[in-house]
Amino acid sequence: MRQIAFIILCVCLATAANVYADYVPKVKLPAAELRMLDDALANSKKYDNAKLVVIDSMQKELSQVPTKNLLKRWQLNMAIGDQYRVFSTDSAYSYYQKSLVLAESTRVDSLILHSKIARLNALSAAGIFTEAVLSLDSLKHYPMSSSLRIELMKSGRQLYSYMLSYVNDHSQYYQKYYREYKQYDDSLINLLPRNSSYYRFIYAEHLIQEGKYKDAKAILEKLLGELPDYSNLYGMCAYQMADAFYNQGDEAQYARYLALSAICDIKGSVKETLSLPTLAQWLYEQGEVDRAYNYINASLRDAMTGNARMRAVAIARFVPMIDNAYRQKINSSRDELMIYFMLVTVLLLASAVLFFFLLRHIKRLRDAQRKLAATSKVQDNYIGNFLGLCSSYADKLESMSKLVSRKIAAGQTDELLKLIKSGKFTEEQNDDFYKIFDNAFLDLYPDFVDEINKLLREEEQMTVKKGAGLPTELRIYAFVRLGVEESTRISQILHYSVSTIYTYRNRMRNKAINRDTFDEDVMRIGREF
């Protein structure tokens, strides 16, 4: 019957393994990073609330600035717009527009240009490309400082990068948009300081495009070590690192860096994320439909929340494919449920058979325990008899010593009398008795000292060296364990006064965790099964 039950169990497990065989990923997943990403998604509201607290503080400060202080109000509107830039494009546009009105009131060209470039970025992220292109074309001919020129080149590069994501490689517009993108990209890399983080990032991106992945990864790895893991540039570097690994065929590292980039976006409350939907698509290809479904929906939700229409359109292309796969998986679960029901039924039957054999085994164990308890009582009796003999032997030796003492005293043998009266013979007999007793007792109860220590407070626990015999207080409680509970009887056996035995026993009780039940606890040592 046992063999039959074992075979049934193996068949069930094999069937269950076949059910899950279709869900084994093609590439090893970055488990640690995916867990971190799941935690970040679970806490995304916390990061968003932190962002809103900062914005709310700035808005309160803005409300307290006098309307005549145009420069301060411009600075705060720009700062609030920057906070909203990756969080809510419509709100960012609104504050940048207010900044532009204030800048025009100051008639300071640098403030006006700064406001227009910031508004251009909001238009790009919102997907309002026509207005964005018109704004860009009107700005690129204006004379401006090198820092503003760099920001304008960044804006142009970003705008045409967004526009390229709308068209496929074979579209008639692709080459046109790419030429514009490349123009701004080249201008930017010529204007940026060589030691700036953004220059190094773009340079690494160029190296990837040229197939120099090793050099690009070295630069990006150094940048990732320098930048805070919540900064927007950190997320961009991680995304480019993923791209480098993908081009080298290392999809495990590709997924790992996509996850790190997505985590960074979540911590920074970036709603126009590209990493998370890209990772969702890759997970879908690996058969991880559940995670892909959760990630693509989170991406679309963020894009809609942040009004990042450009990202929403790009993400929406993946949704039907992943959603369809997810629904197919749900529908197929009906068949799986039937398989699981059959498996559970078989396992219940197997469990019933195994339970029957387990009951028989328990019954045998209980019989063995009863026999063992009876054997233990016999051992106790043997030890009691043995101790009685030893005690009787010790008494005889003591009587003989007294008799010899009297006879020698009558013969006036002073030196012998003095030796006998010293008690040396009696002490030797007692020492032999103690040694025999300790060895016999510890053979039967080898864990006696450890069990006693469990009953004592930690600072009062005792240490007995191997072969050293038992201390007097433990020897006394060894007799208690053997059923010799009366202090008078113990004093007779050990040749101590009754008061000495009482003293030792009280001392041990005072060391105990539970003084009142200490003697009873000692009696139970070795009898619990």
Tell me the pLDDT band of 391, cut-offs 50, 70 and 90. Answer: low
- Asked if residue 61 has pLDDT above 50, the reply is yes
For residues 355-374, give the mean pLDDT. 76
Residues 6+ apart with CB under 8 A from 508: 473, 476, 477, 518
Q: Which long-range contacts (CB under 8 A, 24 or more apart) does 327-330 make?
A: 329/289, 329/290
What is the rounded CA–CA span in Å between residue 269 and residue 258? 16
Q: Which of 253-257, 320-324, 378-382, 424-428 has the highest mean pLDDT?
A: 253-257
Write down the pLDDT at residue 235: 93
- Collapsed DSSP state (helix, strand, coil) of residue 348: helix
Provide the pLDDT confidence category of residue 381 given band limits of 50, 70 and 90. low
Q: How confident is the model at residue 390 (pLDDT cuts 50, 70, 90)?
A: low
Among the ranges given (59-63, 149-153, 157-161, 433-437), the one the predictor scored with the smallest mean pLDDT: 433-437
Q: Does the pLDDT value for residue 20 go beyond 50?
A: no
Distance CA 159, CA 165 (A): 10
Q: What is the pLDDT of residues 189-234, one digit of tens each?
A: 999 999 999 999 999 999 999 999 999 999 999 999 999 988 999 9
- pLDDT on residue 472: 87
* Distance of alpha carbon 504 from alpha carbon 479, whole angstroms: 13
Tell which wins on pLDDT, 439 or 381.
Answer: 439
Give the pLDDT band of residue 125 (cuts 50, 70, 90): confident
* pLDDT score, position 17: 43
Q: What is the mean pLDDT of residues 73-98?
A: 92
pLDDT of residue 482: 85
Decide if 147 contacts 138 (C-beta within 8 A): no
pLDDT given at position 192: 95
Instruction: Please tell me the predicted confidence (pLDDT) of residue 6.
Output: 40
pLDDT at 14 over 70: no
Residues in Cβ contact with 40 at an 8 Å cutoff, skipping those fewer than 6 apart: 47, 262, 263, 266, 267
Max mean pLDDT among 292-296, 429-433, 474-478 falls in 474-478
pTM score above 0.75: no
Which whole number is the average pLDDT over 320-330?
Answer: 53
Write down the pLDDT at residue 469: 80
When mean pLDDT is compared across 262-271, 274-283, 411-420, the lowest value belongs to: 411-420
Tell me how far apart the alpha carbons of residues 3 and 195 are, in angstroms, rounded to a whole number: 73
Q: Sign of torsion, CA 369 370 371 374?
A: positive
For 475-501, the pLDDT digits (tens) are 888 888 888 888 888 888 888 888 998
Question: Which region, left, alpha or beta, applies to residue 212 given φ > 0 means left and ψ of -120 to 50 means alpha?
Answer: beta
Average pLDDT, the chain: 81
Q: What is the pLDDT of residue 397?
A: 66
pLDDT band of residue 22 (cuts 50, 70, 90) is very low
The residues pairing with 456 across neighbouring beta strands, listed in sequence order, are 512
* 238 or 22, greater pLDDT: 238
The pLDDT score that the predictor gives to residue 15 is: 45
What is the mean pLDDT of the segment spanning 391-413? 66
Residue 361 has pLDDT above 90, yes or no: no
Per-residue tokens: 46: 């916390």
What value does the mean pLDDT take over residues 12-30? 55
Residue for token pair 């626990």: 461
* Residues contacting 140, CB < 8 A, separation 6+: 152, 156
Q: What pLDDT was estimated at residue 335?
A: 60
Q: 383 to each of 379, 389, 448, 490, how far by Cα in Å? A: 6, 10, 15, 14
Residue 316 has pLDDT above 60, yes or no: no
Range name among 91-100, 134-143, 408-417 with the lowest pLDDT average: 408-417
Highest mean pLDDT among 278-292, 442-456, 503-517: 503-517
Is 73 in contact with 67 (CB distance < 8 Å)? yes
